[in-house]
């Protein structure tokens, strides 16, 4: 990958994709994005041109990937909705991978998740494993990055935890809250992804690596830390997971969004958002909270507005 190379990033006007695009531009690369919302205003002005990420038109996907050396893939869904299930998301990603191979792309840098497993009962983690398998079988060179929970200014989950903590006198924790999370900053994810591509180019190697922050918290500790940083006096209360899910659905009706899914609660409680490996993200969640507590959770971040409206 030399600096004149064209890189295609999915979702460069979104969350993780934006940081990847920013890092690539800072390193002097050319960037194009594939997005489900090509009409949205580019945070990069005309430095990053947007093309549609429409999976029912593989020929156009191939056309818009032509000339690129590397594809950074962030595409995934947080939960099934309507006709788009995790199985559909797997098939969509396979369409994208095939289009990349057809277009002559050399490497795919794929953002996965910690602890994907083809035998997982959780669609998110199972689908991620199936996509990884498809990438490995594609013949393309690959760098697979597996982040834990990603935090950053544009995040949905941490922001909305803060929003609920600000708004309500009680905050519900599913189960005992003793399960671990190891948040990693979005800039660290982007740096690791771009670095993995550059190393892969130099060594010719394919890699799979977890992408994890330096601090591990229990979920309850994480909630209490966020509460302290935003000055919340909410009482942290434990509920059986099914009851916590019920109330999160009620909250979802009120904010016209999906707040937390059963699969997310199950994944959290199963400790799937931690890694045994050494941390490779630099940013400390606690420090980031100190710096951002004032603004965190001031407004609700709607998944529905981002992806379905
Ligand atoms: N956020 C986290 O805490 C976290 C943790 C671990 C792993 N990951 C993984 O990191 C990657 C990036 O996550 P992110 O949170 O940064 O995502 P994002 O920017 O919100 O979305 C990434 C891409 O997926 C598309 N997308 C998302 N939801 C969609 C939907 N329902 N229907 C159609 N397209 C959809 C987006 O479309 P548009 O281009 O239209 O925006 C964008 O191209 C994902 O693969 C995710 O699984 C995220």
Question: What tokens does 75 get?
Answer: 């595409």
Nearest residue (by CA) to ligand 1, atom 25, is 75
Cross-strand pairs, 207 = 143
pLDDT tens for each residue of the chain, 309 residues long: 554 589 999 999 999 999 999 999 999 999 999 999 999 999 999 999 999 999 999 999 999 999 999 999 999 999 999 999 999 999 999 999 999 999 999 999 999 999 999 999 999 999 999 999 999 999 999 999 999 999 999 999 999 999 999 999 999 999 999 999 999 999 999 999 999 999 999 999 999 999 999 999 999 999 999 999 999 999 999 999 999 999 999 999 999 999 999 999 999 999 999 999 999 999 999 999 999 999 999 999 999 999 987
Q: Are 201 and 288 in contact (CB under 8 A)?
A: no
| Closest alpha carbon to 74 in 27, 8, 151 | 8
Is any atom of ligand 1 closer than 6 Å to the C-beta of 11?
yes
Q: How far, in Å, is the centroid of ligand 1 from the Cα of 77?
A: 6
Alpha-carbon radius of gyration of the chain: 19
Interatomic CA distance for residues 48 and 31, integer angstroms: 6
Is any atom of ligand 1 closer than 6 Å to the C-beta of 72?
no
Quick one: which atom of ligand 1 is closest to the CA of 151?
A: 3
Quick one: which atom of ligand 1 is closest to the CA of 150?
A: 3
pLDDT (tens digit, 9 = 90+) per residue, 56-90? 999 999 999 999 999 999 999 999 999 999 999 99
Q: pTM, whole model, 2 decimals? A: 0.97
| Closest alpha carbon to 187 in 152, 146, 214, 216 | 152
Is any atom of ligand 1 closer than 6 Å to the C-beta of 150?
yes
A 10 A CB-CB count for 231 gives 10
pLDDT (tens digit, 9 = 90+) per residue, 156-168? 999 999 999 999 9
A 10 A CB-CB count for 288 gives 20
Is any atom of ligand 1 closer than 6 Å to the C-beta of 94?
no
Q: Which domains are assigned to the chain?
A: 6-150+184-211 (3.40.50.720), 157-181+214-307 (3.90.25.10)
Question: What tokens does 303 get?
Answer: 């998944």
Is any atom of ligand 1 closer than 6 Å to the C-beta of 127?
no
Is any atom of ligand 1 closer than 6 Å to the C-beta of 74?
yes
Torsion sign (Cα): 81, 301, 49, 149: negative
Nearest residue (by CA) to ligand 1, atom 5, is 149
pLDDT (tens digit, 9 = 90+) per residue, 111-138? 999 999 999 999 999 999 999 999 999 9
Nearest residue (by CA) to ligand 1, atom 1, is 150
A 10 A CB-CB count for 227 gives 21
Q: How far, in Å, is the centroid of ligand 1 from the Cα of 236?
A: 29
The backbone torsions φ and ψ at residue 84, rounded to the nearest 5 degrees and listed phi first, read -95, 100
Nearest residue (by CA) to ligand 1, atom 36, is 11
Cross-strand pairs, 50 = 33
Interatomic CA distance for residues 154 and 11, integer angstroms: 13
Q: How far, in Å, is the centroid of ligand 1 from the Cα of 235?
A: 32
Write the CB contacts of 135 (distance below 8 Å, at least 6 apart in sequence): 97, 108, 110, 142, 144
């Amino acid at each position: 990958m030399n600096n004149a190379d064209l890189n295609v990033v999915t979702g460069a006007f979104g969350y993780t994709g934006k940081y990847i695009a920013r890092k690539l531009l800072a390193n002097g690369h050319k960037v194009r994005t594939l997005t489900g919302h090509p009409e949205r205003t580019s945070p990069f002005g005309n430095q990053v041109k947007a093309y549609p990420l429409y999976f029912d038109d593989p020929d156009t996907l191939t056309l818009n990937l032509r000339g690129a050396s590397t594809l950074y893939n962030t595409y995934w869904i947080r939960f099934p909705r309507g006709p788009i299930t995790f199985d559909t998301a797997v098939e969509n990603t396979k369409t994208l991978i095939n289009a990349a191979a057809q277009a002559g792309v050399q490497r795919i840098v794929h953002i996965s998740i910690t602890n994907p497993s083809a035998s997982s009962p959780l669609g998110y983690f199972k689908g991620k494993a199936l996509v990884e398998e498809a990438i490995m079988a594609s013949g393309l060179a690959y760098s697979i990055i597996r982040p834990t929970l990603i935090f950053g200014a544009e995040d949905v989950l941490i922001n909305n935890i803060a929003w609920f903590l600000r708004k309500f006198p009680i905050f519900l924790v599913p189960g005992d809250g003793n399960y671990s999370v190891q948040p990693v900053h979005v800039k660290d994810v982007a740096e690791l992804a771009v670095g993995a591509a550059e190393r892969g180019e130099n060594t010719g190697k394919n890699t799979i690596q977890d992408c994890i922050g330096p601090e591990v918290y229990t979920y309850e500790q994480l909630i209490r830390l966020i509460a302290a940083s935003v000055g919340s006096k909410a009482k942290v209360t434990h509920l059986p997971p099914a009851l916590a899910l019920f109330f999160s659905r009620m909250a979802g009706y009120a904010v016209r969004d999906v707040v937390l899914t059963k699969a997310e609660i199950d994944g959290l409680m199963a400790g799937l958002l931690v890694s045994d490996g050494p941390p490779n993200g630099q940013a400390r969640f606690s420090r980031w909270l100190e710096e951002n507590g004032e603004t965190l959770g001031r407004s609700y971040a709607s998944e529905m507005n981002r992806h379905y409206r």
